[in-house]
Amino acid sequence: MTISNLLRAIVVFSCALPVLQPVMAQGYPDKPIRIIVPTTPGGPTDVLARLLGERLRTSLGQTAVIDNRGGAGGAIGARAVAQAPADGYTLLFGNTATLATIPAVSKGAGYDPSKAFAAVAKVMDSYQVLVVAPDLPVNSVAELLAYAKANPGKLNFSTAGIGNLTHLSGELLRSKAGIDFVPVHYRSGAESLNGVLSGQAHLTIDNITAVRALVQEKRLRALAVTSASRKPEFPELPTMIEAGVPDYVVTSFFGVVAPAGTPPAIISKLNGVINEGLKSESMLASLKRLGAQPANEAPEPFQSLIVNDTKKWNEIANTANIRLE
């Protein structure tokens, strides 16, 4: 083939791509879809992924195989999807950790979520709650900040581990509010909360699911939510921004992504099926237990969220010198 013929063929193929992609989507899927879940079976990520897998099966007529790939904070499963063919047959059911915080704090994550994935559908947003020990003499964020400034370095802030979202949320508070405290790192979220309950730590910022019962039982005192707006679970609690901490918003999200380069027509088809599935009673009940609402949005806002959160947590990790090998 001559150079001119080769160039002509490339032009013809390029012009045909917009037509070929919808045709590909019409025939998609013609084999099972694999959903990689970057956690061990049984947790909320796994439960939600299985509900979505069942929705894909009933709507698309193909089995959705759940493939649990736990380890390295979720990076093992995320890397597997980043390296998979961009054909819509390998998806990642990711969350804030795999799609933002782990790559921000870990040198060995092995992928950049803002470049490695194409957003398919955000499933839900959840939020954190700033809680303190009941014997700490503060009843608002303003009083907490005043106390911290009057007692620099004397407050202990518990986390679920170095680089965990609880840790990064605390470092964001330190940065935005200009206060000082001592991070106390535990091995899990349960141990982190026990640290506050036992008096080893004075405060923490953890997910609504983890702290809701403890606040209702008055074993912890809630001061604010980290969402952009007030929440029905605690309507009396201000947001961090309302409470005087500028530009402080922390959400934890779950969603489906595909390898970068997956055809937009396939992304659009999956997005429609997943968004419809979010209206089911079983999914709504599961999300309610997590203190979350279904997202029901197009891929583009989810892609922007992944890019912006990765950037935000990278900046915080750099400022606080948080790096995991």
pLDDT digits (tens, 9 = 90+) for 83-112: 999 999 999 999 999 999 999 999 889 999
**C-alpha pair distances (Å), 173 with each of 34, 122, 127, 159, 200:** 39, 26, 15, 13, 20
For 179, residues 6+ apart whose C-beta sits below 8 A from its C-beta are: 145, 148, 149, 152, 155, 173
For residue 128, pLDDT over 60 is answered with yes
Query: Are residue 70 and residue 15 in the same domain, yes or no?
Result: yes
- The answer to whether the CB of 188 falls within 8 A of the CB of 164 is no
Rounded to whole angstroms, the Cα distance separating 264 from 285 reads 30
pLDDT band at 9 (very low <50, low <70, confident <90, very high): very low
Residues of the domain holding 177 = 127-225
Helix (H) or strand (E) holding 21: helix 3-26
The token pair at 20 is 């070929």
The token pair at 148 is 């911290």
| CATH number for the domain harbouring residue 181 | 3.40.190.10
Instruction: Indicate the residue among 207, 225, 243 that finishes a domain.
Output: 225
- Say if 162 falls within a structural domain: yes
User: What is the predicted pLDDT for the residue at 5?
Assistant: 57
pLDDT digits (tens, 9 = 90+) for 22-73: 555 678 999 999 999 999 998 888 888 999 999 999 999 999 999 999 998 8
- Say if 176 falls within a structural domain: yes
Query: Are residue 112 and residue 146 in the same domain, yes or no?
Result: no
Helix/strand/coil for 18 = helix
Q: Which residue has the tokens 């921000």?
A: 104
